[in-house]
Each structure stands twice: as structure tokens, then as C-alpha cells.
Structure 1
Amino acid sequence: MMSSTLPARPIAAAAALALSGLLLAGCAGGASTESEAPETAISADEELHAMLPADVQESGSVVVGTEAGYAPYEYMDTDGSTIIGLDIDLLDAVTARLGIEYTLENVAFDTLLPSLDAERFDLVVAGMTDTVERQANYDFVDYFMADQAIIVAAGNPEGIGTLADLCGHPVSVLVDSTQQGILEAQSAECDEPIEILTQPTDSDALLQVQQGRTVAMLTQEATGRYNAAQIGGGQAFEVANTESIDPSPLGYVFKKGDDELVAAFQAGLQSLVDDGTYGEILASYELESSGLDEITVNGADE
């Protein structure tokens, strides 16, 4: 595995890097890179390091699973192998604060939790929504509040504005995502159900809209607005909804029972909130409005 540092980079500088042609081709399953502490001046905290499980303190490293097709959270740099994004910058910062390194493994989204179950990873960092259903099997350290976005072709030819407007239409979405569940719940209330087309990556779901196979896709707001602003010079897509849709926390995901690791990462992230590092990273992506003042565990209540 390659060893590399992944310093924070502003969204403006990284804007087109998530796209190849018009759309990112998606994740390359099984790709792996290793990161050391970031080049930013973040000092390790001995008390926080001592909170880590003994085996992590001894090895000095954790294995992190992700899916690098979800800009601006995590996506491939122009070299096609380095994973960058908001989640990576935060991960660089919190592992530096904890005094450890990490190995980052890039796999398909729907294999992340099974791989965590199989102990391939110590944690998952992939813009994953904290839900009560998922809390039955996993613990979440929540670090971000994410709304949802309905993405349509520029001009919004079907006049979509709400989830109810999707009834009777084909709509694409990332497979096994929270957004798929939102569509399924809405479809159950429709007179004519939504034709839900699940896709292996968020980019594939957007491609369905671009090619006219679906009238819309549902995704996290940060990802939707990012893509709408970047693809085709901002002229190919738009965000259709003007009101909030199911704002939910995103979290680092841990196996149940890894209480020491959960507590250490919660405390490490909170220290970044308290000293302003967290806010600076979010501001570099113009996402500070979605930041949290308190890092919580299993904060979702639905």
C-alpha cells in the first residue's frame, strides 16, 4: 500500500476533480491507500490517545472503510488513486489528534457494513446516515447534519418540487442508502408508486437522470448541490426542492461493543470542534452551516 498525506483542500480547488468527463465513474472496489497524520499543524493529545483500545495504541493504526464516489465527502483526485474530500480531511485531523495513522480501503457502498461485521475494518467513514434501524447493529459517532436533495435535469422539465411530485415517475438512488428508504416510504403513500431504480454508486444514479432514464435522483444535499454546481458548468442539473427533506446526522460507524474506540473518536472530534479545526475544515467546503457544536453518539431518533 502507498503511504501518503492528505491535507485539507478547498472545494473551489477540488471542484472538477470528482468528475471524469461529465460524471465520476464510481468507486474502484478494493482500492486501498494508507495515510499518515496530515501536514496541517494538529498536535496529538496524550489523554485522548490513552482512550484508545490497547491494541490500537500498540499498532498505532486503524483500518477505515469508505466508498470514494460521493463528492464532496470522499472522491478520487485527478491521479485516480488518492482519495480526497471533507470526510478525509476530518479523518486526517482526528487521527492526528489521537496520535495514530490509518489505512483507507475503498469498496462498494453496499459492502461497507458487511465488511465491518467481518472485522475487515475498524470503522466506516463514508457519509453514512445515522438511523435508529442501523443503531441496532452499529454505533455512530455523529459529525455532520445532512439534508436531502432532489436532483433533476436543468429547467426541471417535470416541475418536481417535493417528494410527492415523484409519484408515478422513475427515480434513481444509491442502493441500500437512507435515500432509498425515503423513496420507498414516499412511494407507499403515492396513488401511483415511484419506480425506484437503485444504482451501485451515486454517480450512476445521477447518470440515469442525465440520460433521461429517470426524472430525478435523491441524494444528500451536499452531494447534490456539489454535482449540480460542477457538472456541465452548472448548467446540466439543478436542485428541485426548496424545502428541507429529512435532515439527518452522518456518523463514523463502529461495531457494537467497540466502546473504547467510539469514545476516543467522539472525544477526538469534539476536541477539533472546540479548537476551531472542525469549523475551518467545513468552511473550506462551504458547509459550515451543517456543522455540529456537540459530537454525539447515536444521535438519530428515527
Structure 2
Amino acid sequence: MKRIVSYIFVSILLIGMLAACGTSEEPSKTGSNKNGSDKKTLVMGTSADYAPFEFIDTAKGDDIIGVDIDIAKAVTEKLGYNFEVRDMDFGGLIQALQSGQVDFVLSAMSATDERRKSIDFSDIYYTSKHMIVSKKGSGLTKVEDLKGKKIGAQLGTIQEEKAKELAKTVDMSVENRNRIPELIQEIKAGRLDAAIIEDTVAKGYLDNNPDIEGFTVEDADGGYAIALPKNSELTPEFNKALKEMLDNGELDAIIKKWFEKK
């Protein structure tokens, strides 16, 4: 009899415990990111060696900064996402995108037809323009005129890369200088025949130096865009945010902020 009573008591106790467990609150299915936010975090791939689009100013810290970082912050904020940046070699960005290591790429990447075969691109957010600056009366009016000339470029800039690109088709030499004013002085002194400078920056020097002149060179690959996986659902979302930024002047303000820094 004692065994029966004991068995009934234990059974009631177990039932009570199970009932209590059944009424406990289930954990949220919405995961939090490392910042404690319930927003989804998108991973951005970039190659932080391309000032002023993405680079690290070691004198000020180890954060990746630049045009593309500010654009990514604005776009993801408008769409309700958090984002984190993953730095890698430029040559590995498309593979990282295709393998799911990153959700999108913002790295001054030109939206070429060849790349479009394997990935998607947003609308163009920046079209590269450069100016070839030379002493007034130099006779340099087109790229072909640079043959046999010594061309300067600011070290570490996209103009340095553009100069190297031009040197593959035109027989010219390329020299680097640390700052734009140095390039202007070298042209005036005759130590450089010309220099390639971002056009908005160059125009400021042309306005203040009547003894120099220049002509514009545009990149032929369609401009920079945000790269995304093929058929990504994010593409129309990103385009919507970019259009809003273009219409309200936010995009232009970001570009001017970084390109006006000297």
C-alpha cells in the first residue's frame, strides 16, 4: 500500500514538473548580433588599400574609412540592417561574394560586362574621372600625346592606378609624389611633363594657377557599383536606397567630403 501511495505521489510530482516546463517562455527566434541589436547584420567585403574609397589612416587608428564605408553605412541604415566590414585582397572579393563569405562588396569595383556574367551590380554610384594636368602651352590635349613623357601621380591613390593602366597602352613613365601640391610644383619646375589628378581636385588648382592646364580622362568600364550575388534580393533594395541618396544630395555630399580632403 505504501508503495502505491509513493508511486502516485511521485507521478503527481513529475506531472507538475512537466507542466511547469511546458509553460516556460521559449527563447526568441530573432538572434542578436554582437552589438546586441535584433537587426540582421550584412557582411561587406572590401580591399582597404584604395584611398579615398576604402583605406586605413594608421595615424588616427585602425578603422577602415572612406567613401565606400560611408555609403555602406547610409544604405544599410536606410534598409534597417547593421553591417560589418571584412578586409581582404581585391582579387578575392568576387569569390567571397559567390561563396557566401560576404553579402555585398563595396570596393570601388567597376561594373564591367565580364563581371556581370557571374555577379550582380547595383546602379552606378560613381563614375571615375581624372584630369591630365600640364604646364600651359605644353601641347598635351589627349592621352596619345603622353607618349615618351614623364607623368606624376599621388602615391596610393586611384590616379596612380590609372596612370599605370595608361602606361600599358602608351609608352610613358610614371613617378609618384606624396602630395598634390608637390605634383603641381614638379610640373612648373619641368621635372614632370604632366600629372594625373582627380578632376574635382585638379579644377581647384587650375583656378588658382593660370600657368597650368588640363584635359579629362574617364574610365571606360562603366563606373563603380555595389556588387552582390547573382539574382540577389538585396539588389533592388540597394538601388532604392542609392536613388534616395542621389535625389536628396546625400551621395554627392559623401563623395565631396572625401575628395575635397587634401
Taking structure 1 as the reference length, what is the TM-score of the superposition? 0.51
- Equivalent residue in structure 1 for 2:240, among 244, 267, 271: 267
Match of 1:55 in 2: none
Q: Is the 8 A contact 1:183 1:196 kept in 2?
A: no
Match of 1:293 in 2: none
Q: Output the amino acid matched with 1:101.
A: N
Match of 1:81 in 2: 62
Q: Is the 8 A contact 1:75 1:84 kept in 2?
A: yes
Look up the SS of the partner of 2:111 in the other structure. Answer: coil
Alignment partners' CA distance in 2, 1:228 and 1:107: 34
1:123-149 Cα offsets, whole Å, 9 max, x none, are: 110111222222122211134332332
Aligned length: 209
Match of 1:164 in 2: 144
Aligned pairs for 1:173-192 (under 5 A) are 179=162, 183=166, 187=169
Aligned pairs for 1:59-70 (under 5 A) are 60-70=40-50
1:9-45 Cα offsets, whole Å, 9 max, x none, are: xxxxxxxxxxxxxxxxxxxxxxxxx998xxxxxxxxx
Structure 2 unaligned segments of length 5 or more: list them: 1-32, 184-191
1:244-279 Cα offsets, whole Å, 9 max, x none, are: 434632100112122x01111111222333444334
Alignment partners' CA distance in 2, 1:162 and 1:257: 40
Structure 1 unaligned segments of length 5 or more: list them: 1-33, 37-57, 188-192, 198-204, 288-302
Match of 2:24 in 1: none
Q: Output the amino acid matched with 1:194.
A: D
1:105-140 Cα offsets, whole Å, 9 max, x none, are: 222323322332333221110111222222122211
Q: Output the amino acid matched with 1:269.
A: L
Q: Name the % identity.
A: 25
CA RMSD of aligned residues (A): 4.7
Look up the SS of the partner of 1:144 in the other structure. Answer: strand
Match of 1:251 in 2: 225
Alignment partners' CA distance in 2, 1:228 and 1:279: 17
Match of 1:42 in 2: none
| C-alpha spacing 1:79/1:117, structure 2 compared with 1 (3 Å) | same
Q: Does 1:194 pair with 2:171?
A: yes
1:228-258 Cα offsets, whole Å, 9 max, x none, are: 989xxxx9xxx98413434632100112122
Q: Does 1:284 pair with 2:260?
A: no
Q: Output the amino acid matched with 1:273.
A: L
| C-alpha spacing 1:133/1:88, structure 2 compared with 1 (3 Å) | same
- Equivalent residue in structure 2 for 1:92, among 54, 73, 93: 73
- Equivalent residue in structure 2 for 1:72, among 52, 63, 84: 52
Taking structure 2 as the reference length, what is the TM-score of the superposition? 0.58
Match of 1:140 in 2: 121
| C-alpha spacing 1:60/1:89, structure 2 compared with 1 (3 Å) | same
Alignment partners' CA distance in 1, 2:139 and 2:70: 37
| C-alpha spacing 1:252/1:182, structure 2 compared with 1 (3 Å) | same
Q: Is the 8 A contact 1:71 1:85 kept in 2?
A: yes
Match of 2:82 in 1: 101
